[in-house]
Chain A
């Protein structure tokens, strides 16, 4: 069983839709939870991060962490065609080493 599971999609939605992307994990040591966005033919780039449980909002994006359920989500409001990309969750325990464990990524297409 993988430490981090992510539905690979692909997910296709109309412009303006609310998008929900999710990951589950098994390692209770994970403390920092991140979402990376990867456009086609590009490397991933950090979109948002959250520490421990709770919500974090940044514009149209909201990241949620439920440590009791080992479940994290990324919500995109008013989705735009420019949001079309692969979204990867990533997690790490606290501490100086802190290697990232990535999910497999969800491919999202927002149709105009």
Chain B
């Protein structure tokens, strides 16, 4: 079974709709992250959470919100989707006890298309 799962894997929606992407992990890691990947731009950090009570904005948080429902669950919401939010979204986890690289473990991704 996958250690980091994301649902849905694919989603097509319309401009203005509210969308939630969900991430679950069985690795027992305390840190969780949401990235988006666009061609030519690589992975950009949207939000990250170091534990259930800790939420931090990343490089490109505008238009997004997150919720850390439990240590194992971290969801990303687009309150009112717009076409330039069309991208591949990845959830990742890491263990604060791991050193020295803070290795991150990625889910399989969610391909989101906003029409």
Contact = CB atoms under 8 A, between A and B. Distances in A.
Contacts of B106: 43-45
A15 to B, nearest CB: 26
Nearest to B92: A43
A46 B42 contact: no
Interface string A41-70: 111111001010000000000000000000
B4 A43 contact: yes
Given A32-B100, A49-B101, A41 B109 contact: yes
Contacts of A42: 108-109
B12 interface: no
Q: Which of B96, B100, B107: most chain A CB closer than 10 A? A: B100
Contacts, number: 52
Interface string B41-74: 1111100100000000010000000000000000
How would you classify the secondary structure of chain B's contact residues: helix, strand, loop or mixed?
loop
B80 interface: no
A103 B42 contact: yes
Contact of B101 (A41, A92, A96, A102): A92
A102 B102 contact: no
B56 to A, nearest CB: 9
A44 B43 contact: yes
B42 A88 contact: yes
A41 B103 contact: no
Contacts of A88: 42-43
Interface of A: 4, 6, 8, 32, 34, 41-46, 49, 51, 88, 92, 94, 96, 98-100, 102-105
